[in-house]
Amino acid sequence: MESCFSTYLNMLLEQIIIYSAVLLFSVWVVYYYLKRQKEASKIVEAKIARAKEDGLHEPVSLHPRIDLNSCIKSAACVKACPEQDILGILDGGGTLIEASNCMGHGACFHGCPVEAISLVIGTEKRGADLPHINENYESNIQGIYIAGELGGMGLIKNSVEQGQMAVENIVKSGLEKGKTEYDLIIVGAGPAGISASLMAKKLGLNFLTLEQDTLGGSVFNFPRSKIVMTAPMNLPLHGKTKLFGTSKTELLDLWYAILSKNDIDIQEHTKVDSIRPDGNGFTVSINGGEEVKTQTVLLAIGRRGSPKKLGILGEQLGKVAYRLLEPELVSGKKIIIVGGGDSAVEAAISLADQNEVILSYRKDNLWRIKNKNKERLNYAIGMDKLKVVYNSNLVKIEKENVRLKIGEDKLEILENDLVYIFTGGELPMQFLKKTGVVITKRFGYTMRKYG
């Protein structure tokens, strides 16, 4: 009897030891996990603080919103995002870090296993102007349709889908082919405009596609290696394209090839000045005077608008540009950059190592740039890498020189190879209002479709 009782006690003791070991191990795992989580949260907190200091924490366009009640803290959204430090995990939940740099890929939405992410435009404090469109992508003006980034949908895949669906809806609305000079004029040759052009070709429409800049629209302005596609898309007359982690160059090459194969010409460097109803459709005024007639219009333009020009002699010369795409390819040049914002400062800094750079600003201080850019600029000035001329205005651009007015009466003639102008843009919302399209300010507006 004693032997049985002793055996029972030994077994009980062994179980207690095993359970205690398991409990201690579990406690250690939980402690280690919470410690790691706390350390990771401190890193994210520091990144958020730095992002706020640099002016990068507030979203400026389409961006993710995380439902913390649904979030399972898997960090799948962080891993899915092809950009760096847009998202992070703070105190066990997803959070935005450098929201201003969000490109609107939507990869985080697709990567979340529990659909805790929605894509929104505007914030609770800062609204975003969006044009009124119905479920067919038609604006309040019958015959004028809107697709893509202008309507708030910055994702390339969804812009592509909207472009083709808008054209399908135009045809379904009772379009009478051949009634006017053109059945459809597509304004903009970005993702939505290219897709719309392919669908218009497929459906046999007599159409014209106008682009104020270059094929690709806003995509063309991304750095060459920038990842712009994270999901497959279906293009009319081409089919499904399986693109993951695709760069700007790869995507543009694909579009050029598809358009060429289908004999579609994009009329580049053509700005639409106005769109007026004329009884049979619309009269579209382009490039300061030429007019074309169309039954319907599809606006597939971006939200950034047209670059503001200085309106000075010589601004039409080929050495003048309003964006800087690949600074590493510019070397040994005498450059003047006009502007006082972050774009101007960043361009000046990126060109300073291999070129002679002057930054011209009309006021006496660069008061609206991010702290990080201010530090980098002061360092570059201190190292004599570039020069800033305050209270100055470019008054004339010549083939080999520029004329720079400094203060009230000083005029300098400077040798010059290139001029970059960063003085803001004419927002497309002004153009829409002039056309008669109703604009509504949205605060944290959830987009209807994510792709």
Q: The CATH number of the domain where 86 resides is what?
A: 3.30.70.20
Q: Check whether residue 193 and residue 302 sit in a common domain.
A: yes
In a domain, 131, yes or no: no
Q: Check whether residue 75 and residue 146 sit in a common domain.
A: no
Domain of residue 364 covers 320-424
* Biggest alpha carbon–alpha carbon distance for the chain: 115
In a domain, 14, yes or no: yes
pTM across the whole model = 0.70
In a domain, 230, yes or no: yes
- CA 359, CA 47: separation in Å to the nearest integer? 30
Q: Check whether residue 174 and residue 265 sit in a common domain.
A: yes
pLDDT tens across the length of the chain (451 residues): 556 667 766 677 777 777 777 777 777 766 666 677 778 788 888 888 888 877 778 877 778 888 888 888 888 888 888 777 888 888 878 888 888 777 666 778 878 888 888 888 777 777 777 888 888 999 999 999 999 877 765 567 778 888 999 999 999 998 989 999 999 999 998 889 999 999 999 999 999 999 988 877 666 655 555 555 556 778 888 888 766 666 777 778 888 899 999 999 999 889 899 999 998 899 999 987 789 999 999 999 877 667 788 989 999 898 998 888 778 889 999 999 999 988 899 999 999 999 999 999 999 888 778 778 888 999 999 999 999 999 999 999 999 999 999 998 899 999 999 999 998 877 688 888 889 998 888 777 776 544 4
Q: Check whether residue 77 and residue 200 sit in a common domain.
A: no
